Amino acid sequence: MARRKKDRPVFERTPQGVVVNLPREEVELIVRLVAELRALVLANDPRTEHLTRRLFPPAYHLADDAEADAEYQRLMRDELVASRLAAMQQVGDTLTSKDPLSEEAMMGLLQSLNAVRLVLGTLLDVGEDHHPGEIGDDDPMVGEHHLYQFLSYLLDAAVGALS
């Protein structure tokens, strides 16, 4: 990844909004990842459903509640999808501009970054015992693990800017 200006936070709160101090390549990467996520969510493909399961978690966890959860998913999925799509659209619309991001745009960015990270974490089978330093350079998914770490870093920086 390209270098940021020294001593400048990734997300800098100003009176005009939050300034994003990321190199163009990193902004383009985020926009591309969010576009890929959008396509994945819109596809509603049973073959990739396992990747998006953490985006649409069950409301009921007990086996006896399967029918209630299916009803919840039927009633709420469209609303959850619409909310995610609106956030993703905001990322594409605002992140590439040079203007500071509003609080609403930052929330959309947070939601979208987290969603990409959740899907990637599912793909990598990341759990509580995930230790990025233990991923070897010969691991076939080393790039994806580095991307997961980068997204985690961005999420932390974005939350910090909003706090």
pLDDT for residue 7 = 73
pLDDT for residue 120 = 95
Bridge partners for 17 per DSSP: 14
Q: How would you write the pLDDT of the chain (163 residues) with one tens digit per residue?
A: 444 556 789 999 999 999 999 999 999 999 999 999 999 999 978 899 889 888 888 888 787 888 888 888 888 888 888 999 999 998 988 998 889 999 999 999 999 999 999 999 999 988 777 677 777 788 888 889 999 999 999 999 999 999 8
Residue 104's Cβ-side half-sphere holds a number of Cα atoms within 13 Å equal to 6
CB 123 within 8 A of CB 147: no
Output phi, psi for 19, to 5 deg.
-90, 135
pLDDT for residue 99 = 92
Q: Tokens 């936070």, residue? A: 9
DSSP 8-state code for residue 6: T
pLDDT digits (tens, 9 = 90+) for 31-66: 999 999 999 999 978 899 889 888 888 888 787 888
List C-alpha distances in Å: 139 to 49, 90, 124, 158. Answer: 25, 34, 11, 29
A 10 A CB-CB count for 142 gives: 12
pTM: 0.86
